[in-house]
Chains A and B, each alone.
Chain A
Amino acid sequence: MKQVELPDTGRLITYTVIRYPPAPFIGEEPYTVGVIELDDGTRVLANLRGTEWEDADREQRVVLHGNHNGRTVFRTFSE
Chain B
Amino acid sequence: GIGYTEVGKHRDRTLEDLFVDASRRAIENAGVDSLDGLYVGNMLSVFSGNQGHLAPYLATKLGFPGVHAVSIESACASGGVALAQGVMAIKSGLLDVVLVGGVEKMSGMKTVDVTWGLTFAEDLEHVKRTGVSFAGLNAMLARLYMKTHGLRHEDIARFSVQCHENGLTADHAQLKKRITVEDALSSPVVADPLRLFDACPMSDGAAAVLLQADFDGTDGSVETVASSVATQTMSLHERKDMLCFKASQRAVERAQAQAGITLEEIDFVEVHDAFNVTGLLSLESMGFYSPGKSTYAVEKGETSLDGTLPVNTFGGLKARGHPVGATGLYQACEAVLQLRGEAGSNQIRRSASYGMVQNVGGVDSTSAVHILRGPGT
Contact = CB atoms under 8 A, between A and B. Distances in A.
Interface in B114-140: 115-116, 119, 126-133, 135-136, 139-140
Nearest to B189: A19
Nearest to B115: A20
Interface residues of B, number: 33
Q: By DSSP majority rule, is chain A's interface helix, strand, loop, or mixed? A: strand
A18 B136 CA distance: 6
A65 B235 CA distance: 23
Contact of A19 (B116, B144, B191): B191
A55 B143 contact: yes
A34 B131 contact: no
B111 A33 contact: no
A43 B238 contact: yes
B242 interface: yes
Q: By DSSP majority rule, is chain B's interface helix, strand, loop, or mixed? A: helix
B188 to A, nearest CB: 9
Contacts, number: 87
Interface in B308-334: none
B191 A24 contact: no
B140 A33 contact: yes
Contacts of A43: 237-238
A51 to B, nearest CB: 9
Given A13-B242, A45-B237, A35 B119 contact: no
Interface residues of A, number: 28
Given A15-B140, A45-B126, A33 B131 contact: yes
Nearest to A45: B237
A26 B132 CA distance: 12
A71 B144 CA distance: 23
Contacts of B235: 45
A4 to B, nearest CB: 16
Contacts of A13: 144, 242
Nearest to A46: B130
Interface of A: 13-26, 28, 31, 33-35, 43-47, 55, 70-72
Interface of B: 111-113, 115-116, 119, 126-133, 135-136, 139-141, 143-144, 147, 189-194, 235-238, 242
